[in-house]
Chains A and B, each alone.
Chain A
Amino acid sequence: MKIFVCVKQIPDPNTVESKLDPATKRLVRTGVSLVLDPGDETTIAAAIKLRDSLGNSELTAISMGPASAQEALRRALAMGVDRAILISDPALAGSDVLGTARTLAAALKRENPDLIFCSTESTDGYTGMVPGAIAEFLGLPQLTFAREITVEGSKAVIKRVTQTGYEVVESPLPAVVTIASGSFEAIYPTMKGIMSARKKPFSQLSLSDLGLESSQVGEAGAREQILSIGKAEARAAGQIIKDEGNAAEIIADFLQRHQLL
């Protein structure tokens, strides 16, 4: 089987304070430390697990981003992904969800994938719209919020996280599947992984390789427009309950009020 996993490089969510550029109204992504999205790391773990259980399958990581995104893909290779594709082109700068998905879909289409993994949402932009848009462009069914995935014959079967438990959902292959966050443990690369990552196939594609016009993507193709940006309201201070014998009651009340009980 040909399995793909879409991954993205983002400003390190643990150390980098997100800043918005008032001029472009976009996230500042340069001059900060960049990492493979930790969410995508767990999605890669899910994809590797499936590949290993199937046997005779190839797992490719694909990313759209600037040249620095190479690093994120190297990390994916070190974790155990077999092959990497980076789509990088100056014309892609300023792509919105539509442009991103269009580009990724175009690259995926050339590969005739059987299964495409995405995270439910990215850790920086978290629109959660890219996977659906890819599925739409490719005309494929999409399975969402998976916490477990298996392939049985020519269909994919997932356990889909719901508020109360899970549903079992299946779809024919090929399909796009999004992994629910927290369902898998990221893989810390082994030395073999790190060393072989340098030798694994790595291809870089530009817009023209994909047969896309620069008017369809990037700033030019963006259909979204950010009208204004503003500060989020500061979180109100929490309530401290001092136990005077009735703390349990107050907490229970509180939880009930918020329908958590």
Chain B
Amino acid sequence: MAPPAISPTGGWIGTTIFVLVFLAALTVFGLRAGQLVTLLAKARREDRTDHLEERIGDFLLVVLGQSGVLRDPIPGLAHFFTFWGFIIIQFGLLNLILGAFNGSLPLIGHDHTFAALLDLFVLFVLVSLIVFAIRRGIVRPRQLSSRLHGPWDGFIILGLIFLVLLTLALVETFGFAASHGEEWSLIGSWLGPSFYGLGTATNVVLYRVFWWAHILTVLGFLVYLPGSKHLHLMATPFNVFFRNYGPRGALPLLENLEEREDYGVSKAEQFTWKQLLDGYACTECGRCNTVCPATNTGKPLLPKEIILGVKESLLDRRHEIVGEPNLFQKLPLADVRSNGHEEIQPLVGGVISKEALWACTTCGACMEICPVSIEHVPKIVDMRRSLVMEESDFPPEVTSLFNNIERNGNPWEISNDRRAEWAAGLGVPLMAENPDAEVLYWVGCMGSFDQRNRKVATALVKILKAARVNFAILGPEESCTGDPARRIGNEYLWQMMAQQNIEVLNSYGFNTAQTESETAHNGHGHNGQTTRPRTIITACPHCFNTIKNEYPQLGGHYEVIHHSVFIDRLIREGRLQLPAGFDQRKLTYHDPCYVGRYNGVYDEPRRVLTVLNSNGVTEMRRNRNKSFCCGGGGGRAWMEERLGKRVNQTRVNEALETEAEVLAAACPFCIMMFEDGVKGVEAEERLQVEDIAEIVARALEEAATPATAHAGQ
């Protein structure tokens, strides 16, 4: 705690003033930040303390290692150095503050290595600042524009950081000059000597002036922060720490439907604290906008504006939420809102338009790319829930979808009794006829009723038979899983369908959390001990995801596998012999959102295709976790696409860019959307849309009849 060479405050009067100013700034900051915390405390509860060890590990990686932003290398590196520079500069600042009390930081306070490191970072940060300024002022990526904070917030922040650094450099320069090198620093040693001519007395005054300027800028920054987008500096670490560690494909369960007061979110404070923290943590980088299929095709949805809209609405309503305004709350946070409208708008249909909510395909691309783990889709669905279940306000074509699912157990006006008709003559047993089947093939509504996808179901049956899998289907005992209803916001209908299906699946002993005595069908030749968990396979990623990740919320735990994974397994176990290099057409593969991003299945389908095709898969520009949605998710397949370009055509065009002849798909909705898209861009001659199962089944068939194997080649 060696004293500084020159006292920056010049004695106790200066130090007292400093303490008062410092405390005042801290108080204002505390009150402003306190308002933000109070708002979170008033929000809904939610437990985010599971997986503690992983949370801590990831926290270190993402916050200290900056692994999130580094995915975009140039601005990422700039951000990396700004972040670490700031941490180091905080120590420098502390050192300067201690100077007011005639002290310094132990160990590093007078250490030249630290001083040099500090200045190196100052230089790094200055370079970074230039990169940021160029990006913001000259390149101006559209995603950086901010409705909430106006164009100036970004520049004010850059300006403040610049001022902090400038004043720091000047403090060091004149500290060096005034102390003739005793107060050593890298920058000081470069610039200081040129000011020796001013005389020590003047240099001491200038040193003190810039010390004050530096301290005041820093305090100003602190006070400005809570109302700025750079609030994320404080909120991001928490947001990363508290991010979702549950299955990604599961929407939160709406509990206690019978006795709730509200169904979904129509007011900001109905979100959980974590959903609201998302708003504080948003860095407004706009990466989510750049990947959103809705934004990219001219729909009125910008995922960033959803996050900021929730934040805006929360801050707009803070007096209503916290109660009687007192001094504490009167403190302005007004700079948060720059759009100027006076009366408070409702969250849904005001700050956030209904059209924006209906445009989302729940593809998850926004959540995948967000560097600070913000959760867009649960918020969008929460607001849809309110529209559907509280207001009965949704696109009119959805009414018949809901009625049909509820009455007929499928999305169409077809009696569910006809669910197994597609399999007539294929020799497919019903579960009721073969209750000991090892594998249940969950056909789904598309595979059961849609003409195009019945072909996929038929192909999959051929594969299962070729591999001698002991399987069965449920037929009329199977109903819609409820997935489209849930994602459109009809949680009630989803729960109804899920319960019904869980009952059926449990009755055949598929529940892995169930004991033998609980299964109703154990009379069917079960000798009382075969409790080996049995597998459900399905060609529909939406059925797959909801049964696997969401049915557990209602007690249904199953081993569910997507057919692409199952086929890959059959090949690797040697149960399925495929003629290697059979199919030489150039092909590309589209990752369905609910197989890829939501469930991490990327390699298996590619492996299957590569066995068949020695040329492998020609990847589209956006592939794997960056795959671009077909436009059919989130219930969008059941709604009209009234605005902008067509999502399916946009993706089909990407497939055409690869010059592939085949667009391999692994989802009935993707197939439907793409076939439609191929027609739309008039590429029927050039591009075929085929399910993986169809490609495999054809190979099996032709391998079995070698005479014709090369006829078509």
Contacts and interface: CB of A to CB of B under 8 A. Distances in A.
A and B assemble together = yes
B396 A185 contact: yes
A190 B391 contact: yes
Contacts of B388: 188
A15 interface: yes
Interface stretch (A62-70, A92-100, A191-199): A191-199
15 contacts: A14-B407, A14-B408, A15-B413, A33-B408, A186-B399, A188-B392, A188-B403, A189-B392, A190-B390, A190-B392, A191-B389, A192-B390, A193-B392, A194-B492, A195-B258
Interface string B399-430: 10011100110000111000000000000000
B520 interface: no
Given A191-B257, A191-B492, A15 B399 contact: no
Contacts of A186: 399
Interface in A24-68: 33, 35
A12 B413 CA distance: 10
Nearest to B257: A191
B449 interface: no
A33 B390 contact: no
A35 B257 contact: no
Nearest to A79: B392
A158 B413 CA distance: 33
Interface of A is mostly: loop
A186 B398 CA distance: 12
A185 B260 CA distance: 28
B271 interface: no
Contacts of A194: 492
A250 interface: no
Contacts of A188: 388, 392, 394, 399, 402-403
A15 B409 CA distance: 11
A33 B257 CA distance: 26
Nearest to B396: A185
Contacts of A15: 407-408, 413-415
Nearest to A189: B392
Given A15-B415, A192-B263, 4 more contacts: A16-B415, A33-B408, A186-B399, A190-B389
A191 B403 CA distance: 15
A35 B403 CA distance: 10
Interface of B: 257-258, 260, 263, 388-392, 394, 396, 399, 402-404, 407-408, 413-415, 492
Interface in A188-230: 188-195
Nearest to B258: A195
A106 interface: no
Interface in A79-101: none
A72 to B, nearest CB: 12
Contact of B407 (A35, A189, A191): A35
Contacts of B258: 195
Given A15-B407, A15-B408, A191 B415 contact: no
Interface in A161-197: 185-195
Contacts of A16: 415
A88 B475 CA distance: 37
B413 to A, nearest CB: 4
A204 B408 CA distance: 29
Contact of A12 (B389, B394, B407): B407
A187 B403 CA distance: 11
A183 to B, nearest CB: 15
Contacts of B391: 190
Contacts of A189: 392
Contacts of B413: 14-15
Question: Counting chain A CB atoms within 10 Å of each CB, which of B389, B394, B404 scores highest?
Answer: B389
A187 B414 CA distance: 22
Contacts of A195: 258
B25 to A, nearest CB: 49
B263 A191 contact: yes
Nearest to A33: B407
B15 to A, nearest CB: 63
Interface string A132-171: 0000000000000000000000000000000000000000
